[in-house]
A and B are shown apart, each in its own frame.
Chain A
Amino acid sequence: MPNRREFLNTLMRGGILAALGLLSGALVFRKRDENSCSAGLACNSCSKSKSCSLPAALEARLTVWQLDPAKCIQCGRCATSCVMSPSAVKCTHAYAMCGYCDLCGGYFKPGTKTLTTAAEHQLCPTNALKRKFIEEPFFEYTVDEELCIGCGKCVKGCSAFGNGSLQLQVRHDRCKNCNECSIARTCPSQAFTRVPANKPSLLRGLGKALSLALTFFASILSQAALAIQRFPKPEFESAYTQPQTQIPLPRGELMAYLDVTVLLIALSVVTWLVLKKRSRLWVFAMSIFSLAYFGFYREGCVCSIGAIQNVSLALFDSSFVLPLSVILFFILPLVFTAFFGRTFCAAVCPFGAMQDLFAFKPQALGSKLNTVLGIIPYLYLGLAVLFAATGTDFIICRYDPFVGIFRFTASFGMFLFTGILLLSGIFIARPYCRFLCPYGVLLNWTSRFSRRHLTITPKECIQCRLCEHSCPYDAIDIPVTTKSPEAKPALVKKVMILTAIVPVLVLVFGYTGSRLHETLAGVDTRVKLAKEVIATSKNDQKDPLSGSVQKTPAAPDESFEIKAFKASGKTEAQVYADAEMVLKKFYVGGWLFGGFIGLAIALMIGGRMLPVYRADYITNKGRCFSCVRCVDYCPVKS
């Protein structure tokens, strides 16, 4: 007959699993508005979705990042912001649009008078654009992708002087398809978008000459489309064959499922090592494997921590497509935790494995400090969900301290940031996992109700105190053997205070969050742009004849964002409407975020107020990472 505590644990565990099941179901089988196929099924549950070409079916499959050349203003950030070095964005040549010009604006430096291939005449900083004589007066230009850094200099030259056949594109054989593309975050013209993986190109002018010829008239006459001039190819008289523009396909979906399989196997093996084998050495060995596979080989993306954002965005934005593999990355560690504790943290998460290597002098922080610092992950989780749900930013990825290390591409700033974190990890073991990790909040709460958690001793605790200081994470609860039952009125008073404090804190913090909505929304690029537009719109002139507002031409010292706005053809009213919509979302989100923080604080206060009785040394189910260090200290062996 289970006791009351076990019954409540089972109930809570069941609730958590049901919630996870509902969440997964909602994400996988949700109805898509644009699905109008005759089968009447959601794409993800349709057997034909793999071959279906309906837009909804295409979307339901894997998506990848791509750059829309029509929006690109060649600001150079593709070269400097990509996590890859050199950038995964490359100049791509749409040969069908090329004029094969002798004096190519994309090849020659401005002002060049001698049209030779001498390095000093070439515009490209890495000489990645190659010029080859075809026949009088035509020259072919090809891009050496090994040398190309995606700076867009040639693209600007080609757009200004030529037909715009040189265009920047994400090359999917190089792109890591990060959860949040760091170029997309900094792109001033919001030219980066997610496209179906089986149609990964947004290159203009890939059509055949004849079809292009039929469409170019509209291009000439439409001012907006002037940059997209299309034309029949030159009439070559030699045997020259125009090359086909190569569009590399992204990594297949199959590989994503291989990663999920490895995750599942790793979780199972680690769980077995933790609960059955109880071997620190083997757990450590597994953590090295995870660091190597999920960290350095998989390059840390998509991870379970970052998947919080994908799930949040998918829940609030039905147009965002969430691959099943990402859902599984989010769900699987939580399911394992609900049954077996945080075995994911023990040796599957590469972040934890990395930090474990630096825990040379771990110090006990004490319960008060742990409680106070423990609020940070709640703040981080709340902000991450808020920013992801509003489509603002994926801040977990943005401040991922290890991805740059895994990819050997960390900028100096990021390297310093990671260095400081790892340095603090020398004294405060696993600082990210304990005091930052937003996924840790979910694991912590799920683990509290786990069915079978790691125990320090396999049998009866003999109170030898050997394990007392063995945990570098302050996750061993020492016995509170002195029962000092409080007087009933005092206990009733505490419960009443607690009952009152929860809604009060939720409301107070919720209100505070709503008051901060403008500050929070200030992170959003749409709001930032609106602020900039307000600052610059004073210079625009109203045409006295037509009444239309003449946008002041982009001045050289204007920000790229304003230049991109002016080039986009968007009106100020549209920009303000976008910003207003974001602000509204943040107002509601501010209430929810604040309320969540208030609830977390209230529960922490409650946890410290209520009396606790423990007879033995036990692992704190919420905080314990199941690293099995304490087991080695226990003299009781099974």
Chain B
Amino acid sequence: MKQKIFIISGLVLLIAVVVIMLTDLFSSKQADQANPYDYKMGEIRKSDSNQSAYSEQLSISPPLAEMHAVSCGPGDRIYVTGKDTLLIYDQLGNSAGRFLFNGTASCMSLDKKGNIYIGMQDHVEIFDPSGKLLKKWKTFSDESLITGIAVSDSIVFLADFGKKIVYRCSPDGRLISRIGEKDPQKNIPGFIIPSPYFDLALGKKGELWVANTGRHSLEQFNQDGTLNSAWGEANMAVEGFCGCCNPSHFALLSDGSFVTSEKGIERVKIYSLQGKFECVVAPPSAFIEGTRGLDLAVDSKDRIIVLDPEKKQIRIFVKK
């Protein structure tokens, strides 16, 4: 009797082992989805709806495999480019033209005549409004990587991430001066650009604004390279810029205030001329998590044009 109990006990336990193995092996239950070490982005991606003063008016889906730069030209036409192709849309999002070129654009700007300046790795290509190549010139270092371009009447400014410097050039590619080199005597701290997001823009009076992303600030230079002012705060809160390199892109509104976009916490915000946070244009929830490269442009009606490379859309935001 005792022996039988022992055998039955042993067998029950042995069968339990086999059943556990088979159940576990063929179980259709999902692997444990809990992550006790989850990086909770939820809180910092949350935005206060009271801070949002813009709504999305329109979105355009350009048939481009890659989208890297957006700009606004005469007649508030919207220009978008990436690899080998430039597309043009009218302000309502209707197709208004296209042309082809060879290469991958990283940034773009237009002058008053509607000529299109496209910054590529180590050179600039200039096209007339019909897409005819007017000029093509190389930058000034083998290590150049042009990530930002701005054009005034007779000057082209290039942000070179590779050399962490801004070039002031003539439209035919002649280097006039370098802006932003570290110079303690002139109180210029130098650009710290940890990753390839280095944007610039021109103000109404021709003043140059450059994103010093490693310092989370926007710096204003005169055309001669004198540093006039800077603003920006390293902060994960909505008022500041966070991560290693923000704001990744920016543009200026007609009143001189700033539209900025960020990576990490994907959002588009507006700051006053003095650099005071004013409102949110598009909160993180408007973007796919991980979106980078939210290039910006502003048209004459102060509509904010956002290039969303993840959704492959041009998104236009207007004040509510």
Contacts and interface: CB of A to CB of B under 8 A. Distances in A.
B289 A554 contact: yes
B106 A220 contact: yes
Interface class of chain B by DSSP: loop
Contact of B242 (A98, A105, A221, A361): A105
Contacts, number: 212
A420 interface: yes
A103 B234 contact: yes
B260 interface: no
Contacts of B261: none
A361 B6 contact: yes
A101 B145 contact: no
Interface stretch (A151-159, A196-204, A597-605, A615-623): A151-159
B244 A546 contact: no
B21 interface: yes
Interface stretch (A249-257, A426-434, A573-581): A426-434
Contacts of A77: 31-32, 35
A610 interface: no
A383 B41 CA distance: 43
Interface residues of B, number: 75
A417 B196 contact: no
B133 interface: no
A253 to B, nearest CB: 33
Contacts of A543: 61, 312
Nearest to A136: B189
A523 B21 CA distance: 13
B31 A424 contact: no
Given A105-B244, A522-B28, A153 B196 contact: no
Contacts of A108: 236
Contact of B292 (A115, A137, A226, A545): A226
Interface stretch (B7-15, B200-208, B299-307): B7-15
Contacts of B18: 376, 436
A424 B10 contact: yes
Interface stretch (A227-235, A276-284, A487-495): A227-235
B243 A363 contact: no
Interface in A60-119: 74-77, 79-80, 98-105, 108, 110-113, 115
A137 B214 contact: yes
A235 B17 CA distance: 62
A222 B68 CA distance: 9
Contacts of B192: 99, 137, 234
Interface string B276-311: 000000000000111011000000000000000111
B255 interface: no
Nearest to B163: A232
Given A101-B194, A550-B311, A523 B25 contact: yes
A162 B244 contact: yes
A217 interface: yes
Given A156-B39, A160-B243, A232-B162, A421 B194 contact: no
B42 interface: yes
A162 B194 contact: yes
B238 to A, nearest CB: 10
Interface residues of A, number: 88
A315 to B, nearest CB: 22
Nearest to B292: A226
Nearest to A395: B25
B33 A560 contact: yes
A435 B10 CA distance: 12
A86 to B, nearest CB: 12
B126 to A, nearest CB: 20
Interface in A434-474: 435-436
Nearest to B245: A99
A149 B40 CA distance: 18
B47 interface: no
B310 to A, nearest CB: 8
Interface in A394-445: 395, 398-399, 401, 417, 420-421, 423-428, 431, 435-436
Interface in B30-80: 30-33, 35-44, 61, 63, 66, 68
A112 B236 contact: yes
A556 B41 CA distance: 10
B233 to A, nearest CB: 10
Given A101-B214, A113-B235, A160-B290, A420 B13 contact: yes
Given A76-B38, A112-B236, A162-B195, A431 B244 contact: no
B216 A363 contact: no
A75 B33 CA distance: 8
A415 B128 CA distance: 74
Nearest to B14: A424
A553 B288 contact: yes
Contacts of A217: 106, 121, 145, 196
Contacts of A223: 66, 309-310
A111 B18 CA distance: 50
A125 interface: yes
Nearest to A422: B13
A213 interface: yes
Contacts of A74: 39
A151 B234 CA distance: 26
A188 to B, nearest CB: 7
B264 interface: yes
A153 B39 contact: yes
Interface in B222-255: 234-237, 242-245
Nearest to B241: A103
A423 B13 contact: yes
A222 B263 CA distance: 16
B214 A111 contact: no
A99 B244 contact: yes
Nearest to A418: B17
Given A101-B243, A103-B242, A431-B10, A523 B235 contact: no
Residue among A75, A104, A210, A567 with the highest chain B CB neighbour number at 10 A: A75
Residue among B25, B26, B28 with the highest chain A CB neighbour number at 10 A: B25
A161 B10 contact: no
Contacts of A115: 234
A365 interface: yes
Contact of A152 (B32, B37, B44, B216): B37
Interface in A172-203: 186, 188
A75 B35 contact: yes
B290 A231 contact: no
A21 B63 CA distance: 61
Nearest to B5: A427
Nearest to A229: B195
Contacts of B40: 110
B102 interface: no
Contacts of A559: 30-31, 33
A123 B244 contact: no
A103 B162 contact: no
A486 B192 CA distance: 97
B39 to A, nearest CB: 4
A499 interface: no
Interface in A120-152: 123, 125, 137, 149, 151-152
Question: Nearest 7 CB-CB pairs, A to B?
Answer: A99-B194, A161-B243, A427-B10, A424-B13, A151-B37, A161-B264, A76-B35
Given A99-B195, A229-B195, 6 more contacts: A111-B236, A153-B38, A163-B194, A216-B145, A431-B10, A523-B26
20 contacts: A74-B39, A76-B37, A98-B194, A101-B194, A101-B244, A103-B242, A110-B44, A110-B236, A153-B38, A161-B265, A162-B194, A217-B106, A235-B164, A395-B25, A399-B24, A417-B20, A424-B12, A543-B61, A546-B312, A559-B33
